[in-house]
């Protein structure tokens, strides 16, 4: 940046990009003289009063404005203007659109949440009672053959109290996973969403 621009910034109390500029003004004779000249000019301009128009000009403008207010025209040499149109309310179409869009989004959100909640109770995803009884029967038949095999391979250290405790725990888990008092279906283990 030029030193003359820095001098003007310094003169008006603005930040100068050179941090050592204060020292340079005091050390450099030529820069200090230019600063003093600019400071005198600024002070002279600040003392000078603002120019005011001649009284005849002001009187002529006021008289012409009064004539224009009475006759309805701005000046004699201009054609007459058409009257202003009637005031109307501002167009608020964008607010109506915003309300309509936000209502549609809220409705879509509600429908989506309802679908998501009801999806877990969908018959396609949960097995029916007939299917479960068939599955249980086939499992019990398979378990019967397995029981015969497991009876032969049962280790001797098997403690009957431990088996009873495990059976009670399994029944407790089964009772908790049955249909609850709210009427909802039990949730399968592999299902991750509510």
pLDDT in tens, 78-111: 556 666 777 777 778 888 888 999 999 999 999 9
Separation CA 25–CA 43 (nearest Å): 19
Q: And the tokens for 46?
A: 């600040």
- pLDDT of amino acid 52: 81
Q: Is the predicted pLDDT of residue 60 greater than 70, yes or no?
A: yes
Give pTM, 2 decimals.
Answer: 0.28
According to DSSP, residue 123 is labeled: T
> Dihedral sign, CA of 154, 160, 162, 168?
positive
Q: What is the pLDDT of residues 180-194, one digit of tens each?
A: 555 566 566 665 655
Average pLDDT over every residue of 128-144: 57
Helix (H) or strand (E) holding 118: helix 93-119
């Amino acid at each position: 940046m030029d030193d003359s621009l820095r001098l003007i910034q310094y003169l008006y109390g603005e930040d100068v990009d050179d941090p050592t500029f204060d020292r340079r003004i005091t050390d450099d004779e030529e820069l200090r003289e230019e600063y003093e000249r600019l400071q005198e000019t600024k002070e002279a301009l600040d003392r000078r009063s603002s120019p005011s128009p001649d009284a005849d000009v002001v009187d002529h403008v006021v008289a012409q404005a009064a004539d224009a207010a009475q006759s309805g025209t701005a000046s004699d040499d201009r054609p007459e203007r058409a009257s202003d149109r009637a005031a109307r309310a501002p167009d608020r179409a964008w607010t109506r659109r915003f309300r309509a869009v936000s209502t549609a989004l809220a409705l879509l959100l509600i429908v989506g949440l309802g679908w998501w909640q009801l999806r877990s109770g969908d018959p396609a995803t949960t097995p029916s009672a007939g299917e479960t009884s068939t599955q249980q029967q086939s499992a019990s038949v398979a378990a019967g053959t397995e029981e015969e095999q497991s009876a032969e391979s049962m280790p001797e250290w098997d403690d009957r109290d431990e088996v009873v405790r495990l059976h009670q725990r399994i029944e407790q888990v089964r009772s908790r996973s049955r249909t609850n008092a709210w009427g909802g279906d039990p949730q399968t283990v592999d299902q991750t969403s509510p």
